Amino acid sequence: MNLLPKSSKEFSSAEYWEKFFKKRGDKSFEWYGTYTELCGVLHRYIKPTDAVLVVGCGSSELSEQMYDAGYRALTNIDISTTALARMQERNSARRPDMAFLCVDAQHMEPFSDGSFQAVLDKGTLDALAPDGSPDTLGRVGRVFAEVCRVLRVGGRYVCVTLAQEHVLRAAVDHFSAEGWAVRVHRVEGQEGGFCLPVFVLVCTKFRRPAEGGAALPQILEVCEGEEGPPRRLGAPEELLDAVREIQAYALLRSQLASHTDPAQTPTLQLCHAHTGRPRYSCHVVDSPAGATLHRASHFAVFIVPQGRETNWLFGTAEGRSQLAGSAGFRRLVVVAMHRDQEYQDMEAIQSELSAKVMELAPPGLPANHQVPFLSVGGDLGQRSVMHRGSSTLSGDFVVEDVRGEEGRLYRRLVFLSNSSVVQSESLLGETGNPAGSGRKRNRKKKGQRAGPVQAPPPEGRGQAVDRSFLCCAHHRVMVSGLALLRGRGTDLAEGPVSVLLVGLGGGALPQFLHDYVRGSRVQVLEIDPAVLQVASGWFGFEQDDRLTVTLGDGLELIDALAQGGNCSYDVIMFDVDSKDPTLGMSCPPPAFVEQSFLEKVKSILTPQGVFVLNLVCRDPALRVGVLSVLRGLFPQIYECGIEDEVNEILLCQQGPQEQALTPPELLSAGQALQGALRRPGQPWDCSLDIAALLENLRIA
């Protein structure tokens, strides 16, 4: 028998409920759970001696079971005479002290002010508020006003609800404006047959301050279980956000327990119970149908060591899919630890995660299945936040030192708006100049040359940055692009080379060009003063007469250079990211690859010069468009993909395609470039093999 309404709006009509209970007959209807499931929370807020008003009682056994548990002063109201008649008949002999009255919760005139110590509502508010329309808000506003009137000071409105956003917002806005304390309590282990979890909204009535007296502080709290203290929140929107997160997690659990879709790789955050701050990021990866699985390989958890969450294998959907395939499990949960959280050891993490990750298990998991925890090397890794800052352009960021898998220590710049991406990285070691050793000069206005800025020296800064080592693979390929200049006859060992680089980051690339290309003059365009400050203070970046930074918008500055017509560059490099994460191309921003702008770039490039573009594009159509524009301007285009990264480097030149270097010529040019860069007595990274990098070049 179908007992669901045709339209959600029917929930608020007396006619619907009359039909509902006539069809229901003598069977009780437990909206959002039974007394046994709810009593753990209800007993915290309603005493057996309290005078309790149960609004919208229907045919629920809740008040009957509360009566049997020792609650005697129970008054039940409903708008359905059918439900009330049956409840009266069922309880008159066994529970003579219970009252059943036909009263609309919007108009509770039969009850005087302050008549009750608790008003209990199980699903009635949700029934009265099917949407957020003005009529609905007017209706629930009248109910709230009556609840305020009939409750004594110190009394509580206890509402069992699904906490849909429009319902919760209406309640929080009303009762917090009245100066009441508002707490949203998650009911543990109770989904009520719905995808969304069940909550108990508890609003406690405080005495209003005297006229002219100080207003009471707003109290907004969320409790995610029966045990433990509530978490205090600062504003209604924070409370709504906390409830949304709980609902999203419940929905995800429902989906993961009912079906397996390898194309979907959901991600969720597990937060610290007391602070609400993120503690773990969990990525759920399922193997495709027909994949080869190991014995008893239903489910496993992989813990990513600290500092390695940005590695391609762990930090991208493609990498995690490859990891799951190689692990050979039906479902793999890849767990990354968050910075600013403390972790004891792997055993403690396993204990902390065990109960929660079991909620993410695949359907059909055998009973008592032992879930293996996997990792790399068995330790937690090492990550230390050395500095925190904020940029008006890029938001909050951290500088952190991370111990790599090979034991080396790296310094990273990470913008927290995209914490899975390392903005800049340098190797720390005994060689090179100490970070922050630059000379302090006066800052200039935007668009003018700026000297290095030295931040106050914090503890632990004195570790040296190895300026000979390029951590970023795409920087290595960009440097190898200078071999095309060698192929055109420019002698990099002695002759001058002018370089224009858009995007400073930590300064590793321009600093390397300055230190190893003897005749280079490198000009960097950087839009964010905070980035220059970090590069100078934490990554060993130093300016002089051959290496300068101009602060300003790269689009505007290149436009000015093109209009001036009195300068040209042998090499122009774009290594600048987009601040819009919704775009399919994260590097560079789209405006940097528009034809009109690239024409300006071409106009300030020497005839034999090289334009080097770091392209990070996940949208195939966008990539085709970028290449089409480039081909119209640069007949010679080489491309080089970066293994295990989305980055690809495009090397563009103006000469006819027939003059493109052959593989043997590229090999010779690469060897010559390496010979020009490597000097006796100067530190050198022996893993940098420019000729080998050029072997990966292909005509785009």
Percent of the chain's residues with pLDDT above 70: 84
- pLDDT-based confidence at residue 20 (cuts at 50, 70, 90): low
Question: Residue 61: which residues within 8 A CB-CB, separation 6 or more?
Answer: 28, 30, 34, 35
Range of the domain at 364: 259-374
Residue 3 lies in a domain: no
- pLDDT-based confidence at residue 662 (cuts at 50, 70, 90): confident
**Listed range (52-66, 150-164, 314-328, 367-381) with the worst mean pLDDT:** 367-381
**Do 478 and 352 belong together in one domain?**
no
pLDDT at 465: 93
- Write phi, then psi, for 23 (nearest 5 degrees): -70, -35
Residue 401 lies in a domain: no
**Is the pLDDT confidence value at 379 over 60?**
yes
pLDDT at 460: 40
pLDDT at 293: 66
* CA distances in angstroms from 598 to 148, 382, 482, 604, 698, listed in the order given: 67, 43, 20, 10, 22
Edge-first strand order for the sheet with 424-434 is 382-391, 395-403, 409-415, 424-434, 464-465
Question: Residue 130: which residues within 8 A CB-CB, separation 6 or more?
Answer: 8, 9, 11, 12, 136
pLDDT at 169: 94
Q: What is the arithmetic mean of pLDDT over 553-572?
A: 93
**Do 228 and 287 belong together in one domain?**
no
pLDDT at 27: 53
**Is the pLDDT confidence value at 192 over 50?**
no
Residue 448 lies in a domain: no
**Is the pLDDT confidence value at 657 over 50?**
yes
Tens-digit pLDDT profile for residues 402-428: 888 778 899 999 998 877 788 899 999
**Do 48 and 127 belong together in one domain?**
yes
pLDDT at 26: 53
**Listed range (139-148, 221-230, 301-310) with the worst mean pLDDT:** 221-230
Tens-digit pLDDT profile for residues 124-138: 998 898 888 999 999
Q: H or E element: which one contains 434? A: strand 424-434
Cα–Cα distance between 637 and 627 in angstroms, integer? 9
Tens-digit pLDDT profile for residues 436-445: 433 333 333 3
**Is the pLDDT confidence value at 583 over 80?**
no
Q: H or E element: which one contains 616? A: strand 605-617
Number of domains in the chain: 3
The tokens for 354 are 């065990």
Cα–Cα distance between 25 and 41 in angstroms, integer? 30
- pLDDT-based confidence at residue 340 (cuts at 50, 70, 90): confident
pLDDT at 452: 36
Q: What is the arithmetic mean of pLDDT over 318-324?
A: 86
- pLDDT-based confidence at residue 364 (cuts at 50, 70, 90): confident
**Is the pLDDT confidence value at 58 over 90?**
no
What is the C-alpha end-to-end distance of the chain, expressed in Å? 65
**Do 72 and 170 belong together in one domain?**
yes
Residue 42: left (phi > 0), alpha (psi -120 to 50), or beta?
A: alpha
Residue 353 lies in a domain: yes
Residue 682 lies in a domain: yes
Residue 444 lies in a domain: no
Residue 583 lies in a domain: yes
pLDDT at 260: 62
**Do 123 and 195 belong together in one domain?**
yes
Q: What is the CATH number of the domain that holds 475?
A: 3.40.50.150
Q: State the average pLDDT for the chain.
A: 84
**Do 278 and 229 belong together in one domain?**
no
The tokens for 621 are 């159509």
Q: What is the arithmetic mean of pLDDT over 573-583?
A: 84
**Do 594 and 521 belong together in one domain?**
yes
Please tell me whether residue 557 adopts helix, strand or coil conformation: helix
Residue 95 lies in a domain: yes
**Is the pLDDT confidence value at 532 over 50?**
yes
**Is the pLDDT confidence value at 14 over 60?**
no
Residue 316 DSSP code: S
Tens-digit pLDDT profile for residues 266-307: 888 888 766 777 889 889 998 876 666 665 578 899 999 888
Tens-digit pLDDT profile for residues 85-129: 999 999 999 999 999 999 999 999 999 999 999 999 998 998 898
**Is the pLDDT confidence value at 65 over 70?**
yes
Q: What is the CATH number of the domain that holds 270?
A: 3.40.50
**Do 179 and 271 belong together in one domain?**
no
Tokens 């930090």 found at: 315
pLDDT at 236: 92
**Do 264 and 242 belong together in one domain?**
no
**Do 227 and 286 belong together in one domain?**
no
**Do 360 and 268 belong together in one domain?**
yes
pLDDT at 16: 53
**Listed range (499-503, 570-574, 655-659) with the worst mean pLDDT:** 655-659
**Do 231 and 306 belong together in one domain?**
no
- Write phi, then psi, for 525 (nearest 5 degrees): -105, 120
